[in-house]
């Protein structure tokens, strides 16, 4: 399914790296930046998520909660979050349902892996409406954070 700007964001509940259930609806009243990423401990994912970590105050200043989502297990994500000192929740979509709902799932990925999250970014406003959507086909590409920041600035 392709997610378009202006539509209601599909709600979900996933476990985070601390084994807590986290739902999109938990953040009603806040803007949310959903960042789907292929796999923990890979170069591009680490570069992207560490950049977000280093600029987390910018997201806090625009009332935005960042959520990282991948098909990695909660245990892998916990180790990754600890090693990279990430300061936002990482959610496990191990069953691949949320990635699929957001049109962010590779059917085939490298090394014959099936069902890996595509690198994607979605801004969901405080009412649950998608205000920005970018799904990247090339896992080596990084979302357009200037465009994301511009959208978030309008939602303050």
Task: For residues 88 and 81, give the distance between their C-alpha atoms in angstroms, rounded to a whole number.
Answer: 9
More confident residue, 1 or 87: 87
For the cut 60, the answer to whether the pLDDT of residue 15 exceeds it is yes
The catalytic position among 3, 24, 45, 123 is 45
Q: What digits encode the pLDDT tens for the residues 66-98? A: 999 999 999 999 999 999 999 999 999 999 999
User: Is there a contact between 37 and 80 (Cβ–Cβ < 8 Å)?
Assistant: no
50 counts as catalytic: no
Its pTM stands at 0.94
Full set of structural domains in the chain with CATH: 31-154 (3.40.30.10)
User: Is there a contact between 44 and 139 (Cβ–Cβ < 8 Å)?
Assistant: yes
Token pair in block for residue 46: 């680490």
Beta-carbon contacts of 39 under 8 Å, excluding residues fewer than 6 positions away, are 45, 70, 71, 72, 116
């Amino acid at each position: 399914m392709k997610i378009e700007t202006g539509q209601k964001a599909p709600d979900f509940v996933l476990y985070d790296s601390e084994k807590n259930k986290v739902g999109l609806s938990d953040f009603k009243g806040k803007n949310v930046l959903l960042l789907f990423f292929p796999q923990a401990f890979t170069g591009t994912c680490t570069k992207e998520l560490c950049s977000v970590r280093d600029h987390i105050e910018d997201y806090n200043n625009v009332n935005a909660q960042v959520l990282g989502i991948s098909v990695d297990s909660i245990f892998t994500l916990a180790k990754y979050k600890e090693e990279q000192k990430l300061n936002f929740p990482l959610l496990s979509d191990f069953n691949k349902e949320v990635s699929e709902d957001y049109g962010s799932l590779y059917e085939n990925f490298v090394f014959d892996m099936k069902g890996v999250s595509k690198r994607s970014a979605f801004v969901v406003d405080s009412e649950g409406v998608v205000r920005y959507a970018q799904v990247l086909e090339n896992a080596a590409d990084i979302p357009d954070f200037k465009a994301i920041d511009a959208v978030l600035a309008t939602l303050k």
